[in-house]
């Protein structure tokens, strides 16, 4: 039996997306061409943009297509920072949370290393959440020096939701743009760009049943940003390159489907999650790091005296596929920065697994996990204890 519990890394392409992409691929046409085939491709591209915008509470003109969440995050962080700094050289402070995905952490650090940005990292509590009071203190002291803020909507490792409404209200109060990496959130919890008051928001299609390699940056019309790519001025002069019409169509179809079945999927995922939590509660030395008020399908746990990589491979051999954290850092032999920021020690952080449940998972899947997990933990624990002797 094979059980896939790594939906936070990537989901299966849903039938609606496959059908939309297959239809788009069957027709030639560059959406920038003026002939009939080009106009047809352009119409499909813009209809897809309208659907995506409607699903996330944005205007179509605010949706900028990218090659995924990482590019969208980079465009937001580098693009907004550079535009604001170019307007006012005093604006060199770049504020992010301690639990951001590396698609935000790394470009922020790159700006600090190469362009003189002053990186400010907001701490989080034991649940992984930013305290709005910390952001208020930063803005009250340095509002004229802050170029931008980036705080993720939902954490991709432990699933906690940030107080985006409060953070956004503070950012608007002090006149500073706030971007949110919503890659883990879109399609899984309600996301409304206009209502949130955010300046920018990133999403990635393969997190909600769409194609890998396609994403979008939702950028307010009034928000200035500099492009990362030049050559044609596609996508509001902020992202040059011939648009992926099939990717846009597949993303729109997948997101529409996710929104339409949100209530039933959340109920199904929650039931499976609760069953998994019950299984983990029967094993000694397990600490659950995720809460039940975050992303419905996320279960993150630390296993005492175990190495996460050992658990991962032993479970894989038993037909259970999960992860030790973000797939973007798989194979990196270091403790998760998210867990360390939450106050876990390095041993607990290294001995952790993330199980991410999708709507196709069943209670039978978790029954299989229950059948193999105790033996796996015993073997990993024995190996871990031998290693410290």
Give the domain CATH number at 117. Answer: 3.40.640.10
Local structure of 245: helix, strand or coil: helix
Kindly provide the b/e burial profile for residues 313-332, where b requires at least 16 CB atoms within 10 angstroms of the residue's own CB.
ebbeebebebbbbbeeeeee
Q: Is the pTM of this model over 0.85?
A: yes
213 lies in which domain range? Answer: 15-259
344 with 372, same domain: the answer is yes
Q: Where are the alpha helices (DSSP H) in 115-156?
A: 132-142
Answer yes or no: is 182 within a domain: yes
**CATH code for position 304:** 3.90.1150.10
Do 288 and 209 lie in one domain? The reply is no
For residues 234 and 127, give the distance between their C-alpha atoms in angstroms, rounded to a whole number: 41
CA-to-CA dists, residue 58 to 52, 206, 254, angstroms? 8, 20, 17
- Please give the average per-residue pLDDT across 304-317, as a whole number: 96
Instruction: Encode pLDDT of 92-123 as tens digits.
Output: 999 999 999 999 999 999 999 999 999 999 99
**DSSP SS3 for 202:** strand
101 is a domain residue = yes
Same domain, residue pair 83 and 166: yes
Same domain? For 49 and 158 the reply is yes
| Residue 9 domain-assigned (yes or no) | no
Nearest to 210 by CA among 169, 167, 254, 246: 254
* Residue 341 domain flag: yes
Does one domain contain both 230 and 338? no
Same domain, 219 and 365: no
| Options 55, 160, 306, 328, the catalytic residue | 328
- Residue 328 catalytic? yes
Q: pLDDT tens digits for 325-353? A: 765 555 555 799 999 999 999 999 999 99
User: What angle (nearest 5°) sits at the alpha carbon of residue 382, between those of residues 381 and 384?
Assistant: 60
Cα separation, 144 vs 135, in Å, equals: 14
- If asked whether residues 191 and 332 sit together in one domain, one would say no
H/E stretch holding 118 reads strand 118-122
Q: pLDDT category, 191, cuts 50, 70, 90?
A: very high
Rounded to an integer, what distance in angstroms lies between the CA atom of residue 281 and that of residue 300?
13
Alpha-carbon distance 127 to 258, whole Å?
27
Show which of 259, 283, 311 is a domain's final residue. 259
pLDDT digits (tens, 9 = 90+) for 28-69: 999 999 999 999 999 999 999 999 999 999 999 999 999 999
Residue at 1 is within a domain: no
Structurally, the chain folds into a number of domains equal to 2
In a domain, 10, yes or no: no
- Distance between CA atoms of 204 and 147, rounded to whole angstroms? 25
pLDDT of residue 122: 98
């Amino acid at each position: 039996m094979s059980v896939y519990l790594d939906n936070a890394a990537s989901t299966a392409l849903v039938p609606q997306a496959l059908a939309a992409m297959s239809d788009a691929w069957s027709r030639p046409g560059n959406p920038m061409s003026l002939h009939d085939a080009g106009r047809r491709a352009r119409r499909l591209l813009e209809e897809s943009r309208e659907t995506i915008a409607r699903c996330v509470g944005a205007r179509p003109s605010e949706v900028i297509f990218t090659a995924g969440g990482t590019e969208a995050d980079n465009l937001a962080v580098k693009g907004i920072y550079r535009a604001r700094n170019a307007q006012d050289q005093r604006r060199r402070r770049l504020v992010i949370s301690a639990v951001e995905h590396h698609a935000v952490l790394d470009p922020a650090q790159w700006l600090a290393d190469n362009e003189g940005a002053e990186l400010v990292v907001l701490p989080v509590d034991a649940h992984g959440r930013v305290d709005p009071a910390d952001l208020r203190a930063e803005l009250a002291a340095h509002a004229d020096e802050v170029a931008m803020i980036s705080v993720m909507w939902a954490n991709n490792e432990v699933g906690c939701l940030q107080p985006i409404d409060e953070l956004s209200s503070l950012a608007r109060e002090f006149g500073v743009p706030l971007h949110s990496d919503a890659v883990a959130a879109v399609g899984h919890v309600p996301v409304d760009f206009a209502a949130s008051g955010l300046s920018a928001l990133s999403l990635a299609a393969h997190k909600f049943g769409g194609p890998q390699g396609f994403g979008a940056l939702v950028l307010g019309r009034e928000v200035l940003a500099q492009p990362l790519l030049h050559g044609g001025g596609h996508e509001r002069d902020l992202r040059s390159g011939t648009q992926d019409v099939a990717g846009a169509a597949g993303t729109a179809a997948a997101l529409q489907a996710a929104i339409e079945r949100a209530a039933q999927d959340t109920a199904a995922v929650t039931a499976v999650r609760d069953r998994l939590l019950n299984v983990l509660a029967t094993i000694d030395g397990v600490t659950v790091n995720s809460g039940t008020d975050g992303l419905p399908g996320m279960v993150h746990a630390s296993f005492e005296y175990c190495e996460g990589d050992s658990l991962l491979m032993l479970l894989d051999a038993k037909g259970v596929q999960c992860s030790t954290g973000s797939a973007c850092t798989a194979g990196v032999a270091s403790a998760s920065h998210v867990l360390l920021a939450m106050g876990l020690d390095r041993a607990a952080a290294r001995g952790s697994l993330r199980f991410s449940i999708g709507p196709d998972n069943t209670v039978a899947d978790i029954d299989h996990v229950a059948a193999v997990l105790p033996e796996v933990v015993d073997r990993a624990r024995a190996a871990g204890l031998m290693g410290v002797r």
